[in-house]
């Protein structure tokens, strides 16, 4: 698939999709054009049955993403428009129903909308040089995804420090509070680990992995009794698939399973 913009690079190899923010001269800031490219990539990840897992990163080595393009925001406001473009391109990844696992490989600044993008991924890993923060209040802007979800990902006290001060934390602190999964010395080792995680995901039955993700993202907003019922429905469907028979058979025969995704 070819995207409508070269500000987001997109390729697929061996059932892994690679999404790269490609505005290194602007710290990979999220313009409306970048948003459109990301939306196109995530929709393709969702809809292409050959894609099992995705890796998202930023080009240039200085930033995963420094967040919204505030120059564009200012221009929109000066023109009497809403600060942030709405519509299809503004939808968050979980709202799009992308239930395939997404890994954020973070190298450099991961702040504001960049951190919110990383938080929409399922697994986050970073280089030692990376920094994280939600500085929106310093520009009289309220965080979007981060405002509602950071307190669900890390201890509330740590989340409130980030939200109320606009300060950045380094990779060591991000790892300590559980915001990222692991820390790596440089970009090469970061991408090597992202690749290895993707390969680990590929060992699992695709429909089971997608059901687990959907249950967690959708079910967390339900009372427990409704969440259990929702999970039962999906797990019941997984139990009726060919892959549900293949898993135990492969184990008994001491061979790798041949997942069909059906």
Q: What does the pLDDT look like over 37-78, one tens digit per residue? A: 999 999 999 999 999 999 999 999 999 999 987 777 666 666
Q: Are 246 and 238 in contact (CB under 8 A)?
A: no
Please report the pLDDT score of residue 11 as a whole number.
Answer: 97
**Phi, psi dihedral angles at 57 (to 5 degrees):** -150, 180
What confidence score (pLDDT) does residue 82 get? 52
Cβ 190 vs Cβ 61: under 8 Å:
no
Phi, psi of 238 (to 5 degrees): -65, -35
Whether 88 has a pLDDT exceeding 60, the answer reads no
What pLDDT band is residue 145 in, cutting at 50, 70 and 90? confident
Higher pLDDT, 262 or 189: 189
Q: Which two tokens stand for residue 43?
A: 């929709």
Banded model confidence at residue 209, pLDDT cuts 50, 70, 90: very high
Contact 29, 65 (CB under 8 A): yes
Q: For residue 185, with 0-12 CB atoms within 10 Å meaning exposed, 13-18 middle and 19 or more buried, which class applies?
A: exposed
Residue 189 has pLDDT above 70, yes or no: yes
Higher pLDDT, 86 or 219: 219
Task: Indicate the range of 94-98, 163-167, 177-181 predicted with least confidence.
Answer: 94-98
- More confident site: 77 or 237: 237
**Domains of the chain, earliest start first:** 8-202 (3.90.226.10), 206-252 (1.10.12.10)
Contact assessment for residue 131 and residue 170, using Cβ atoms and an 8 Å cutoff: yes
Query: For 140, how many CA atoms within 13 A lie in the half-sphere containing its CB?
Result: 3
Q: Which residues are the active-site residues? A: 116, 136
Residue 239: band (very low, low, confident or very high) from pLDDT cuts 50, 70, 90 = confident
Torsion of CA 167, 168, 173, 175, to 10 degrees: 130
Buried b (16+ CB within 10 A) or exposed e, 134-173: bbbeeeebebbbbeebbbeebeeebbeebbeebebbebeb
Percent of the chain having pLDDT more than 70?
Answer: 93
> Which band of pLDDT confidence, cut at 50, 70 and 90, is reported for residue 81?
low
Q: Look at residues 209, 229, 208 and name the one whose alpha carbon lies nearest to residue 219.
A: 229
């Amino acid at each position: 698939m070819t995207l409508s913009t070269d500000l987001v690079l997109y390729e697929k190899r061996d059932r892994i999709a690679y999404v790269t923010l490609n505005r290194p001269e602007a710290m990979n800031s999220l313009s409306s054009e970048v948003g459109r490219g990301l939306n196109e990539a995530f929709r393709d990840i969702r809809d292409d049955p050959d894609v099992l897992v995705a890796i998202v990163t930023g080009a240039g080595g200085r930033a995963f993403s420094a967040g919204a393009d505030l120059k564009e925001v200012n221009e929109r406001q000066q023109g009497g428009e809403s600060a942030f473009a709405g519509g299809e391109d503004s939808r968050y990844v979980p709202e799009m129903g992308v239930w395939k696992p997404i890994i954020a490989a973070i190298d450099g600044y991961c702040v504001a909308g960049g951190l919110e993008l990383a938080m929409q991924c399922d697994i986050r890993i970073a280089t030692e040089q990376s920094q994280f923060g939600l500085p929106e209040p310093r520009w009289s802007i309220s965080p979007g995804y981060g405002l509602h979800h950071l307190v669900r990902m890390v201890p509330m006290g740590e989340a409130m420090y980030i939200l109320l001060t606009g300060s950045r934390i380094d990779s060591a602190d991000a790892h300590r509070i559980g915001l990222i999964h692991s820390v790596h010395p440089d970009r090469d080792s970061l991408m090597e680990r992202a690749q290895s995680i993707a390969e680990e995901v590929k060992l699992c039955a695709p429909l089971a992995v997608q059901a687990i993700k959907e249950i967690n993202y959708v079910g967390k907003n339900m009372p427990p009794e409704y969440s259990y019922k929702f999970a039962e429905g999906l797990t019941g469907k997984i139990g009726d698939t060919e892959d549900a028979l293949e898993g135990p058979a492969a184990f008994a025969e001491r061979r790798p399973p041949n997942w069909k995704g059906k």
